[in-house]
Each structure stands twice: as C-alpha cells, then as structure tokens.
Amino acid sequence: MITKKRNLKNHLRDLNSNMTQVIDTNKYIEFVRQTTSPASSDFAQLLTRLTELEATADADVPRLLTASLGMSAEAGEFTEVVKKIFLQGKPYNEDNAFHLKRELGDICWYLAQALMALDTNFEEILKMNYEKLSARYPEGTFDVYRSENRVEGDL
C-alpha cells in the first residue's frame, strides 16, 4: 500500500513537474490505472458492489443504471441536434424542433426510471428543486455570484 501511494505521488509529481513539457502518456495511463476504483476496473468487484447495493442498501440497481446511462445518452442526442443547429448550419425548423421534442421524451422515459428507482415522483423532485433554487436565489432572480459561490449544502 505504501509503495502504491509512493508510486502515485511520483506519477503526480512527474505529471506536474513542468506543464510546458509533453506529458508521458504511458505514465498518465498508469496514473489512471492506479486512481481507478476496483469496481471500475474489475468485473468481479463490480458485481460484488452491485449485489451489495441491491441487497443491503435497497438500491434499485437495474433502474438506476438504466436511468443514468439512458439520460446521459439521450441528453447527448439532444445536445448533438442543438450543436448542429447552433454551430454547423442545421436549420432551426419544425422538423428539428420535433426531433428535439422526441429526444426530450426519451429523456423523460429515463427520468421515470430514476423516479421509480428512488421511490419518488416528479412532483417531489420539482418541489425539492424549487426549494433549492429559492434558497440559492432568495430575491427570486438569477445572480451570477450566487450561481458560482454556493453555500455549504447547496448541491
């Protein structure tokens, strides 16, 4: 364990020693390997962790995983259309607005998976979000400073 920490410190030192130099990609890959959790790098460890979460923490692992991967993928598809409209000359028209709406529908489907996994509903989540943002912006308007400088507990 001490050797592993020493090696990690050496990797960090080597990476940070001179930012004007080219990073040794082999050292970086080793750094990534050493800073990866066991469940992220070993299938047996992943299965053990997922089983532990399902059995002892009452986590709905399949639905959480489905929701997480699905929302991310669908948000990427939504973003891809917006990127093409804003940056690549794709027209903003009825067909592309329809495409964006379809992607939002897919995001909602995965959101419903997350709601089921967390034994909650959309109304509860909206209420929690309203309370969070009302505390962050007590005047009821956006504020750059408060947006970038959160108080403790403001996730």
**Average pLDDT of the segment spanning 123-145:** 95
Do 77 and 95 have their domain in common? yes
104 & 85 share domain? yes
Total count of domains within the chain = 3
76 and 105 together in one domain: yes
Mean pLDDT of the 69-90 span: 98
Query: Is residue 108 over pLDDT 60?
Result: yes
The answer to whether position 113 is within a domain reads yes
Same domain flag for 31 and 66: no
d(CA 29, CA 19): 17
127 and 106: one domain? no
**Dihedral angle of Cα 12, 14, 19, 20, to the nearest 10 degrees:** -170
- Structural domain contains residue 143: yes
Q: What is the mean pLDDT of residues 11-32?
A: 79
Query: Looking at residue 31, what is its pLDDT?
Result: 96
Q: Is residue 31 part of a domain?
A: yes
- Can you point out the beta strands (E) in the chain? none
- What confidence score (pLDDT) does residue 9 get? 72
The reported pTM is 0.77
In this structure, the answer to whether residues 116 and 69 fall within a common structural domain is: yes
